[in-house]
Chain A
Amino acid sequence: EAQLVESGGGLVKPGGSLRLSCGASGFSFNNAWMSWVRQAPGKGPEWVGRIKAKTHGGTSDYAAPVKGRITISRDDSKNTLYLQLNRLKIEDTALYYCTTEGYFVGHHALDLWGQGTMVTVSS
């Protein structure tokens, strides 16, 4: 069964950094485009960014609100996706999900989700 499991969330002070991880199993991770989506408490989801499969260049794209403060990377040998968050702001407080993008169905559909890892930015 295909599965994504996020980890690394926690409490961090404004201006701090955090690295989230997402372990994948049950599918060919190296062939998958992977995205990060966050959801602030009581709000709707927000796409944060993606990294393409290496067969499509392996490049990353980021949403405007976080561009310059985050880096998405992958280690295909470990079936693991990463999200490095820097210069964190209070408004970055959210549940962070990793997802596949257009792997199982469709174009740009976020088709497999993990359970999420919570990031709280507070002094």
Chain B
Amino acid sequence: QSALTQPPSASGSPGQSVAISCTGTSSDVGGYNYVSWYQQHPGKAPKVMIYDVNKRPSGVPDRFSGSKSGNTASLTVSGLQAEDEADYYCTSYAGTNNVLFGGGTKLTVL
């Protein structure tokens, strides 16, 4: 199975909103509500920001939100802050006991 498709880059100014897409197929993103989003700062391990499409773990700011339509999931970061600059990855359960990652999106805060 192929990786999920994400745009390689996204950007926005402080205070703005930015959305990052994650496109799969009906066998992964479209077939299950098990999409997660991860934030990774340089030299650090990824951290889960969104799980089950649109749920936030305790401690994650409500500026981060998730959604899904068909085979495409999205992460929206509202009220951009400098510390949001990082790489973001999506994952989806893909049946047959598999987990797929997206290729990653580098978010730049201008």
Contact B93 A108 (CB under 8 A): yes
Query: How many B residues, CB 8 Å from partner?
Result: 26
Nearest-neighbour CB distance to chain B for A109, whole angstroms, equals 4
Contact B45 A109 (CB under 8 A): no
Contact partners of A105 in chain B: CB under 8 A: 48, 51-52, 55, 57
Which DSSP category, helix, strand, loop or mixed, fits chain B's interface?
A: strand
Contact partners of B97 in chain A: CB under 8 A: 50, 61
Instruction: Tell me the number of A-to-B contacts counted with CB atoms below 8 Å.
Output: 70
Nearest-neighbour CB distance to chain B for A103, whole angstroms, equals 11
Contact B101 A44 (CB under 8 A): yes
> B86 within 8 Å of A by Cβ?
no
Q: Binary interface profile of A, 24-68, with partner B (CB < 8 Å = 1, else 0)? A: 000000000001000000001111001000000000010110000
Contact A47 B91 (CB under 8 A): yes
Report the separation of the CA atoms of residues A105 and B89 in the bound assembly, to the nearest whole angstrom: 17
Q: Binary interface profile of A, 97-123, with partner B (CB < 8 Å = 1, else 0)? A: 100010011111111011110000000
Q: Of B46, B87, B98, B103, which one neighbours A63 at CB under 8 angstroms?
A: B98
> B38 within 8 Å of A by Cβ?
yes
Contact B1 A64 (CB under 8 A): yes
Q: Of B1, B34, B51, B89, which one neighbours A45 at CB under 8 angstroms?
A: B89
Residues on B lying within 8 angstroms of A by beta carbon are: 1, 3, 34, 36, 38, 40, 45-48, 51-52, 55, 57, 87, 89, 91, 93, 97-104
The 8 closest A-B pairs by CB, nearest first: A106-B51, A61-B97, A109-B51, A113-B45, A44-B104, A47-B99, A108-B93, A109-B36
